[in-house]
């Protein structure tokens, strides 16, 4: 399903599957994709982050990866993914494991929305909404 993500600040991004299908103003993107579902978020829409330090402490590898996603990041550095269980949890959630922070895939639908205080409102990882703050 094609989805348009938009926010108060930051334009709109059309997402189809795991890829970005279009970027522009909400009006431009809705004109190109008139049947797409629209998700509107408060805050600023932009690319997801790369988590560049150790993964947050949590009781399980899955919860450590979820904490990364809740922060607006969809990628982690390989040197901090130090166990098979952690690598498996990252891969199951489509979190990229990078050798370098700039080695991301520019067409992959990894987006995040942040409020004025810098808190993550929503995270889209490889086209899937994986976190939203209520």
pLDDT tens-digit profile of 50-69?
999 999 999 999 999 999 99
What angle (nearest 5°) sits at the alpha carbon of residue 57, between those of residues 129 and 76? Answer: 50
Pick the CATH number of 1-134 from 3.30.565.10, 3.90.850.10, 2.30.40.10, 2.60.40.10: 2.30.40.10
pTM equals 0.94
Q: Contact 93/60 with Cβ under 8 angstroms?
A: no
Q: Where are the domains of the chain?
A: 1-134
Strands 49-51 and 37-47: unpaired
Q: What is the mean pLDDT of residues 3-16?
A: 94
Name 29's Cβ contacts closer than 8 Å, sequence gap at least 6: 4, 6, 12, 13, 14, 22, 23, 36
Residue 33 tokens, joined: 């994709």
Is the pLDDT at 134 greater than 80? The verdict is no
């Amino acid at each position: 399903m094609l989805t348009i993500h938009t926010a108060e600040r930051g334009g709109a991004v059309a997402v189809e599957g795991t890829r970005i299908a279009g970027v522009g103003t909400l009006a431009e993107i809705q004109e190109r994709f008139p049947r797409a579902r629209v998700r509107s978020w408060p805050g600023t829409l932009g690319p997801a982050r790369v988590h560049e330090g150790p993964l947050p402490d949590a009781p399980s590898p899955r919860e450590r990866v979820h904490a990364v996603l809740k922060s607006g990041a969809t990628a982690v550095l390989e040197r901090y993914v130090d166990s098979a269980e952690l690598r498996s949890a990252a891969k199951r959630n489509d979190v990229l494991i990078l050798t370098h922070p700039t080695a991301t895939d520019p067409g992959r639908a990894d987006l995040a929305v942040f409020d004025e205080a810098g808190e993550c409102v929503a995270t889209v990882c490889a086209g899937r909404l994986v976190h939203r703050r209520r």
